[in-house]
Amino acid sequence: MSAAKVSLFAFEFSWWIVGPVAVLAGIIGAYAGARAGRTAGAREEALEPGEVVLSAYAVRPLFEEGRATGVSDSARFELRVTTLGLQLWEGADQLWSHPWWAVRLTAEGDFVLVHHGDREIAELLVDTFDGSPDELLLGAERLRARAHHI
């Protein structure tokens, strides 16, 4: 068999592999895009008229349904800071939302504790650039102070 026939055979054979892989990658990409769009849409619909998202943080609760969470769980949870309050989301599901006047945030090491009145409602590890929750705590105090004056 000549070199030209071997390379032609290899070229034709490669399309039998590349074609299905390309179709599969397209299907996976379409699914991921639809899921991300659904999540973003659900989060935007939950906003009150005039409410604006100021920032969002990937977070990991210490415990979820009685079990300790792992590092990979921070991709599922998002803490959204808005002009009116604080929201915790798991994918497209809103776990809770509290107005600024009703919540207080404190730090305990790397963790942020979210309090509603006298009750602690969440212990979260915030995924920030420098690993510190200071940015979130400072913004929350300013927004909470502003909410008391409104």
**pTM exceeding the 0.75 threshold for the entire prediction:** no
What average pLDDT is seen over the chain?
A: 76
Percent over 70 (pLDDT), the chain = 64
Q: Residue 79's pLDDT is what?
A: 92
How far, in Å, CA of 73 to CA of 79, rounded? 13
Of the candidates 115, 93, 90, the one whose C-alpha atom is nearest the C-alpha of residue 102 is 115
